[in-house]
Each structure stands twice: as structure tokens, then as C-alpha cells.
Amino acid sequence: MTQLTRSATLAVLAFSICSLQAATPTVAGAKAFMDKAEAELMRLNISQARADWVNQTFITDDTEVISAAENERLIARTTELVKESRQFDKLPLPADLRRKFLLLKLSLTMPAPSDAKLREELTQTSVGLGSTYGKGKYCPDEDTSHCVGIDDLEDRMAKSRDPKELARYWAGWHKIAPPMREKYARFAELSNQGARELGFKDTGVLWRSYYDMPADQFSAEMERLWAQVEPLYKELHAYVRTRLVAKYGAAAQRPDGLIPAHLLGNMWSQQWDNIFDLVAPAAAPPTYDLGQIFAERKTDAKAITTYGEAFFKSLGFEPLPPNFWKRSMLVKPTDHDAVCHASAWDIDLDQDVRLKMCIHSTTDDFATVHHELGHLYYDLSYRKQPLLFRDSANDGFHEAIGDAIALSITPEYLKTIGLIQTVPPPAADIPILLRKALEKISFLPFGLLVDKWRWQVFSGETKPEGYNAAWWALREKYQGIAPAVDRSEGDFDPGAKYHIPANTPYARYFLAAIYQFQFYRAMCREAGYKGPLNRCSVYGSKEAGAKFAAMLSLGKSKPWPEALKQLTGDDKLDASAIVEYFAPLLEWLKQQNAGTKTGWTVAANPMKAQ
């Protein structure tokens, strides 16, 4: 289509929608508006996805500009459609149509004021926050010739075992954030104005309204779930703290029982698996090394992907579409730059699904392929739904689907598909479960507190002059973490986490960590499995696959409790599946912590390092 033709088409579409606005709002008019809006958004989403795919698999200045332009066009038109849709707010609409209007409105995580100047200011402020983070560097001793970005710093945080060096990295990275402080306060103010114009009390309420329940009820649900897993987290915290004190001595020991943030192998202390070598059990039965097995068999990227596809086929799903194998990027290109970070792509919201990943023949990448294909099979399952329902039941579901499948990568599964010959004994489960807990259980309190801090900011409970104190009060309360060095309100430590300046909601990650175990347990039960949950694999179970597919096919057409019930038989989130999964580890941790006080006491000043 030529530029002239495309412009003319959009002009006709805009005229048609404007004509609908001019008439008295009716149910028929609302349906006609939504039909046209969905058709337009479908075209814009596909154009944006294609441009973004080309940019990420073939990075040049030109592809970056093209991708940014398509993304801006999609956001701008979505914002306009949300504003236009308000003419139908007071109409009594059929349930499905009413849900579409709500989802259209909730699709904006950055609601903008209707005033053009304020909207432009919000956009520029948002871009400025993202740019400040993206340009962030740590410069040792203020030497700008040796500055390093967050990717290098994360690698150093994972590998260094020198507490003074780790503290320098931690403090150095957090220096990027203070310039964001005033911008973020203005951003919150403008975003709140946009949310109020859409009928919400503030942006935090808008975000929480996405979860098919009143905002306050959703907040309470998050706390209820945390209460279920907090005892397990505290046992893990106490065990890790003891081992860190044994390693680092005074650098790790505090009278209040908090763990210094820089000693956990991660810039934000959100996952601790990088320090597994420091906390691993002294002795354990030998296990297997998939990387070595793949190397011996010369297993390539396509073969590893085929293993993942075979898992879903064993559940009764169709093979991946032929174009998947033609259009996916499975290995790192040798002649141009590309983004290797693993991601699943639904290009045309139908059957053009793709995997973008630079696959290595490792245990981690084997699990990642299973996870990413979970996203794609979800996309394929709901592709026949109307556009606004072609999404996961809520944003936590999509991540949880892939993770639930990855939990089935057990020794029993690996033996069944011929990758190992002997299943390790139950005693080998403890190091495996410990490593997994350092990844998943350690994340839970951080996954909870990031948005709790933002909700307090958006609501006005936390004022700009108290941003940092509120951040560290939450980190202390939920994580039992203390800063590496003294902090003050001259700092803005929330800004050192990407999702804050990028305005990316974070509750989804906490929810996904809960959902994945609940999904997994339900599928294991459907498969007739009776043993320890951590040993279950649903590979080959058509019964589990049918239940799974029924939930996936709903997409976003129903409130998430209905989708959850389709698979689990329960319409409430339940973290007991996590506790059951880690039951052997919990018993072991309690034995290791015998005579040790779990938990921590509240510090007089949460921003004090020691």
C-alpha cells in the first residue's frame, strides 16, 4: 500500500469514527465503534510488531527509527481511541462489549492528560527518565574512560566475592538515579491527572483495576499470598544469612539480622542464585550436566527447540506452524547485530509466531526454550478470540504459563526423552531445590514491594521528600535487606531499578511466581501424579493437556478467576502449591537453622548501612 493510499484509508476511518461520536450514543453505535477500533488496532499492532522484530533481529540506526515511529503511532492512536470511547461510558452494554471497553481503557499504563501541552510534557518526562537509566554508567574513581553499564555490573556482582568491591559496584550504580527524582515526581503528578480524567482516583488504582477486582481488594490479595510464603522465605533468609556471615564475617553480620544488599549476587538482591556456590550443601549425590550431554551429542539450537515442541505435542497440542521454523531467530547472527535476549513473538496475532533467542546447548537454555514456547502456545490458543481478548487472562498468566511448563523439566522427564539414563536419588533433590529457591523464593518479596512503593507514591501517601525512606522501609519489611552504604533523601534508589523509570508495572512478576506453581500442581493432579510435587512432570498427559488448552483458549475473554478455575477448579490464587513444592527443602532448612533466630528486627533508620 502506498503512503497516499494508507493516509487516505486512515482519514476515512477517522471520519467514520468521528461521525459515530457526533450521533447520540447507542449500544449499536458502541458496537460499531469497537469493531472499527479493533480492526484499526489490529493493523497498528501488526505493523509495530513487524518493525520491532526487524529492529531487534537486525539492529541499525534505520531500523531503530522505524520501530520507534511505529510504536509511537500505536500509542498515540490507542490514547485517542480511549478518549473517544468515553462517550459510551454511561450506556448499559452487553457484558462482552463492556469488557472490551474496559480493557481498551486499561491498556494505558501511562494515562496522559487531555491538555496537549501536559500530554507532551508527560511523554518527554517519561522519555527522559528512560534515557537517564539507559545511559547510566558506573565510573570507577570518576574515571570516565573506564565506565561500565548495568550488564557488566550485573556480571561483576554475580562473580565477585570481595565485599568492598561489591559495595563499590552497588553504590556506583545507584548514583545514576538522583537526577531522576524531580522528574519522577512530576511524572507521577501528570500521570495521575490522566488517570483521573479516565475516571480513576490515581494511576495506582488504574493499574490495580486491571485485575478484575476493586483496587483495595487486589492489594489485600497480594498481602494474603505473601503471608502464605513468608515462613519459607524467612527460613531461606536465615540459612543464607548464616552462610554469608561464615564467608564474609563482620561485613555480613548485623545485630538486627538484616542482610547487606550487595552480598547476594544481584544488584537489587531480587534473586540469589548467583551465590549458590557460597550456600550449597557440603555434600550431595552426583547429578547430571545437560550441557555436557548436549555437547557429546552435538545437539544444535533447532534440536533443542524441537525438544520443547515435542513436550507440547505430547500434551495434545498441534506442531508449531511451518513459518515458525522459517522466520524464528534461533542462533546469534554472524554478520550483523541482534538482541539475543530470549523472547516469544506473536507477529500477526494469528499463526505467525516466532522465537528470538541465541540458543546455547546448556541446561538454562533448554529450560528457557520450554518457557518461551509456553508463550507461543498461549498465543496460538487464543488467536480466534476478538482482538482485545487476544491476550492472557491477566499479565501474570503469560509469564506463569511458560514457567509452569519449565517446572516439568524433572529428572524423570529427562530420562523419558532419553537425555539421561538414571534418575538421581531423592537426596539429590535438596541442592536442586535450594538453587531453585534462590531464584524463585528470594524474588517474591521484591516482586511485591516494587509496586507497593509506586502505589504509595501515586496515592500521595509517600511524598517526594520521603521517596527513599519509603523504599528502604519496604525493602527492610519484606526482604530483610539493608543498603550496602548509608542512604539519604539525596538518593533516589527506586530509580536504579529499570521498571521504575520505564514505568513498567511489576505486580505481574509476583503473580506469575504464584500462578506457575498453582498451574503446575493442577496439571500434575489431572495427570494422576501421586508423588512429591517437585518430581512431577506432565509430559505425555493428554488429560492435563486438555485442561491446560481449555484455559489458554479463553485468552482475556473472561475475568482471570474464571480462567484459573478452568484449569485448577479454584477461582482464588493459592500459594500453598509453592509450599508443597519446596516441602523437602523447607524441612531441610529448618534443620540447618536449628538454634538460629529467623527473621529480623526493624532498624531505627532503614537507610543506615550498619
Active site residues: 341-342, 371-372, 375, 399, 499, 509
What lies within 8 Å, CB to CB, of 476 at 6+ separation is 258, 482, 600, 602, 603, 606
Cβ-based neighbour number of residue 528 at 10 Å: 10
Q: From CA 288, how far away is CA 353, in angstroms rounded?
A: 33
> Which runs of consecutive H residues, i.e. helices, occur in 417-479?
429-440, 443-459, 467-474
What residue has cell string 486438555?
546
Instruction: At 57, give phi and psi (nearest 5°).
Output: -100, -5
* 373 residue type, one letter: L
Q: Decide if 561 contacts 571 (C-beta within 8 A).
A: yes
β partners of residue 344? 355
Q: From CA 456, how far away is CA 462, in angstroms rounded?
A: 5
Strand 343-346 and strand 353-356: pairing? Answer: antiparallel
User: Which H, E and C letters describe 236-286, residue by residue?
Assistant: HHHHHHHHHHHHHHHHCCCCCCCEEHHHCCCCCCCCCHHHHHHHCCCCCCC
Instruction: At 399, give phi and psi (nearest 5°).
Output: -65, -40
DSSP structural state of residue 105? H
Q: From CA 304, how far away is CA 205, in angstroms rounded?
A: 43
What lies within 8 Å, CB to CB, of 513 at 6+ separation is 400, 403, 440, 443, 444, 447, 578
Residue 523 burial (10 A CB sphere; 0-12, 13-18, 19+): buried
**Closest Cα to residue 429, out of 323, 295, 581, 538?**
581
What lies within 8 Å, CB to CB, of 474 at 6+ separation is 449, 452, 453
* 48 residue type, one letter: Q
Q: From CA 147, how far away is CA 153, in angstroms rounded?
A: 10
User: Can you count the helices (H) and strands (E) in the chain?
Assistant: 25, 4
DSSP structural state of residue 370? H
Residue 178 burial (10 A CB sphere; 0-12, 13-18, 19+): middle
CA 440 → CA 326, 477, 538, distances in Å? Answer: 34, 19, 21
